[in-house]
Structure formats: C-alpha cells, structure tokens
Amino acid sequence: MAKSKSLQMLPDNLEDQQIPNLPAHTNIEHVAPNSCLQSALFGLIEKGTRKYLKQQKVNSLNGIEIWYTGEQLDQSDLDVFLHAIHLTADEKNILPGNAVRFSMNGFLAATGKSVGGSGEKWLMGVIDRLAANMVYIEVPDSYTKKRQMYGGSLIRDFFYDYKTQTYSLRLNSSLGALFERGWTPVQWEQRVSLSNNLSKWLHGFYNSMQTIFPMQVSRLLELSGSSCGRLSDFRRALRRSLDNLVEVGALKSWTIDDDDKIHIVRFQTRKITEKPV
C-alpha cells in the first residue's frame, strides 16, 4: 500500500526547530503514540466523576513521565484524538493552514457514536476537553538516550460551520514528538466494537507492547487510571474485558495465576510498532 506524506504542522516561530512530523500512515489505518496507550492519560472515569487536574502526575510505564492539567480524559476522548490524527493521512481532508476538515455525521459514525443531537453534543464536549488542557510528556529517545518533552494541548483550535455541519480542526503543531518513542497501528474496527472503556484501554495497551510480560492486576489498575475503589471489583471487570478482547479476536487467550499476575497470549500475525517498548 502506498503511504501518504507526513503532515507538517509548524507555526512560524518553530520552523527552525527539529520537531518530528506525524508518522507516515495510510488513509485506511489508525495510529496511536505508545505514550498514550501505556499510561493513564486517557484513563477510566466513572460517569459523573470527571475531575479537573492541575499539573497531575499520570501513572505510566517506566521511562514515560506525564503531567496533565485540565479535565480528565478517557477512552472516548482518545477515540476522537486518534480519528482526528487518522484523517490527516488523506490529503483531500487538509485545508490551508494544515487544518483537517470533516463532517459531524461522518466523524460520529467512524467513532461508533449515534448521529444526532446527543452525538453532536458529545463530540463538541470532547473537542473542548482536548483543546483546553496542557500535557507534558517526557520520554527517552531510543537512539540518542537523551530525553525529549512534548508540551501543549492536544488540539490547537477548531472552526465549526453550523450550516454545513463540518469541522475544520488543527492538531497541535508539535504533536509528532509524541510518536518519537514509538507508535502502534490500531485495529480500528476492533476498537470501536469493544463494549467498554477498560476493554479499549487493554486493547491499546497490549497491542503497543513488543513483548508482553506477566503483570500484577494491581499494577494494571494503576496504569489504566481506574477509579475502581476495590481491587476485587477491578479484577472482576478485568476478566469481563479480557473475555471481550478474545471475543473480537484481539487476544488468543488469557489467565490469572495464583500470584494475581495476568498472562496474555496474542495471535502471531500482528504489526510491530516502531521504536517499540
């Protein structure tokens, strides 16, 4: 398959900086930075419990350091973020100024949401959260061993035309830096078909890992950003979500051993992430 050119989004005052572009990806696949899949940045939030955070340290795998200011983000927010990135792969969607254009109804359908008033309100709320935040993500470069930091909101700005029901949206100009530690192709139909946010988080987490190692249930609770108060309740939800991943063909099998560690078996045919962990 032919790959499209990476989208370049550099404001004038950053032209001389060596800021990475978004990875080249086809217009039929979605991609996600591993730093977003291996942390609680897009966590698990119970309905009605979303909080405003101020420079909050986010749980993540070793090597990734994240601080976040803004309303908490969840897996639905990640759906919108990843699909907006995906749309940049098709040059037909790009407007002058590097804005990406899309219809309200088309975007809702692609993210598995119902078309109509409730879906429109949901999408506007997500875009508001993705624009009104400050994220710092610091990661080690796989090759130079030096650390790099991304800082900014995830969406720079947007314009909505009520007459045509279309968005023109600009992602942050430094967004490519998020992909420098590695990125993962996302099987989008699988993700959209998953029944709950924990299933979606696990889907991204395990697909972003080059090698899966046994992990304590309590550690997964931390990394997922779950607000579940009791470990036993989280373990019960985890079992259901892992079964969900097996049902949609994302995992081959799973077990929890006597030490409360999860063992995952993936199918052998899968894409490998670039600069994987």
Instruction: Give residue limits of the domains in the chain.
Output: 19-185, 189-265
- Give CA–CA dist 226/217, Å, rounded: 12
Position 125 confidence tier, pLDDT thresholds 50, 70, 90: very high
What is the average pLDDT value for the chain, to the nearest integer? 86
Spacing of C-alpha 223 from chain mean position:
14
**Residue 188, pLDDT above cutoff 50:** yes
Written as one string, the DSSP assignment of 9-56 is: ---GGGTTS-PPPPPP--TT-EEEEHHHHSBSSEE---TT---EEEEE
CATH fold for domain 189-265 = Ribosomal Protein S8; Chain: A, domain 1 (3.30.1370)
Q: What is the pTM of this model?
A: 0.87
Position 182 confidence tier, pLDDT thresholds 50, 70, 90: confident
Structure tokens at 137: 């993500």
Q: Do residues 33 and 19 lie in contact, with contact meaning Cβ atoms separated by under 8 Å?
A: no
Q: Which pLDDT score, from 0 to 100, does residue 9 have?
A: 41
Position 146 confidence tier, pLDDT thresholds 50, 70, 90: low
